[in-house]
Structure 1
Amino acid sequence: MGYLTDAFNQTVSQQRHLIKDIYEQQLRMTKTELKFLQAQINPHFLYNTLDSIYWTAKNYEAEEISTSG
């Protein structure tokens, strides 16, 4: 009976360890995916902001702001 109890406890311990490993792996993957998405969004946000400034300057005929190059 003691052998069965030890084997059961060892199996439970291994399952907990595997569940923890899978959870941590999924958490790392989710964080990586979020960083990847943020890296894609940031340049678009910057471009859209600069484009908005450009067109606002054009509308107000502020050539010194809207002139590129």
Structure 2
Amino acid sequence: MLSIDPKMLFRLDELEQDLVERRTWAVAEGWQGEIEGIDLTLTFLRGKRAQAQRFQRSGTVDLGLPHQRPPITDG
């Protein structure tokens, strides 16, 4: 799943503005399929923005270093 770098939130704002303008044009032209596609894309974009904003607030999580498990013995 694609993760957005919180530093790039401004780019999502630019993309959203462009999609809203395209949607306005599609409504004026009566392109129902295009409107539905843009609406779906806007929903995903806004979800990604919310995800990135949550990540930005919470920071990073230290998962530690992986370690090797001891071998399983019969006995």
Q: How high is the TM-score relative to the length of structure 1?
A: 0.42
For the pair shown, the structure with the greater C-alpha radius of gyration is 1
**Bigger share in helix:** 1
> Which structure carries more relative contact order (alpha carbon 8 Å, separation 6+)?
2
TM-score, length-scaled by structure 2: 0.39
